[in-house]
Structure 1
Amino acid sequence: MHLREQTPRRSVAGVCLSGVELGLPIPWNTVSLLLGKRKSGGAMGGRWEIPGGKVEEGESDHVALERELDEEFSLDVSIGPLLTQAGFLHKGREFIVYAYQVMLPADPVRTPEHSRVDWFPLAGSLDLDLVDSDRSLIENLLTTKPVVISAFNQ
């Protein structure tokens, strides 16, 4: 009997950056990144993360990211392009997290999942106690050639 390999589950992250202008390359070394500090408890309690979550069956990445950010911040967001991705293991299951640029209409005011939300310089965020998957995403972003954002979905 052969064990069937499971397809990795999809997860999405909303990379909210300040200091980005449409039509110009993203200056990775000078932008700030929005991170949330998870509330205490659980395996990732007290660690910083990029907002996002798991893609449910039948959802597209964009729909999942819109849902997750609405649940976390009660904000309608605009989704930009895919910036990077990273693989990780969670409870023995393989995941791939896809990081999309997200534009927020305002700073978050409600966050039931986080004890704190704040902006950090992208490179400086690596000094924080980040969840492992998001550390990989940020490392990938810092080594990515500059991306030009021309538009966001409305």
Structure 2
Amino acid sequence: MRKVAAAIAMRGGKVLVTRRAAGQKLAGYWEFPGGKLEPGETVETCIVRELQEELGVRSTAGEVLTVSEYIYPGGAISLIAIEVLLEDADFQLTVHDDHVWIALEELLSIDLAPADIPIAKELMKRHGAN
């Protein structure tokens, strides 16, 4: 099972989600930004690296919130949601074509990638959003 880190960046009661660009796997789906752990890498190191590569921003990794396991046609993933503090928000998107800060109660109204849905539900439960 491939381990993948997902950034949970909160600001003003909203969470950051990004949309996969055309030509990418899961194009058109919204997701918590992140990516695959490299060999020997911790989830904390991975999420900081991925946010720099995918969004062009510096960040600090916090606690792991939850893990979502999902089997896609290309293989199974273990999606590890980790709190992050973004040091800036001047995004330069590389594998995404859009980003939005969305209210937690609206998370399930967008087309989230399947592995991200359990994480969205856990966030909503933790923060009392319905």
TM-score (norm 2): 0.90
Whichever of the two has the greater Rg, that structure is: 1
Name the SS of the counterpart of 2:51 in structure 1: helix
Distance in 1, Cα, partners of 2:124 & 2:84? 17
Residue 93 of structure 1 and its aligned partner are, at CA, apart by 2.2
Could you tell me how far apart the structure 1 residues matched to 2:34 and 2:46 are? 8
Q: What RMSD over aligned residues (CA atoms) do the two structures have, in Å? A: 1.6
* Structure 1: 4+ residue segments shifted above 3 A: none
Contact between 1:81 and 1:101, CA under 8 Å: does it hold in 2?
Answer: yes
Distance 1:88 1:108, change over 3 A: farther
- 43 and 112 in structure 1: CA distance in 2 versus 1, 3 angstrom threshold: closer
Q: Please name the residue that 2:6 is paired with.
A: 13
1:60 pairs, out of 32, 35, 42, with 42
1:42 CA displacement:
4.6
For residues 104-115 of structure 1, the aligned pairs below 5 Å read 104-115=86-97
What amino acid maps onto 2:66 in structure 1? Answer: T
Structure-2 residue corresponding to 1:28? none
In terms of fraction of residues, the more strand-rich structure is: 2
1:37 partner letter? R
1: CA distance, partners of 2:127 / 2:83: 15
- Is the Cα contact below 8 Å between 1:72 and 1:112 reproduced in 2? yes
Instruction: Normalising by structure 1, report the TM-score.
Output: 0.77
Contact 2:7 2:82 in 1 (8 A): yes
Bigger helix fraction: 2
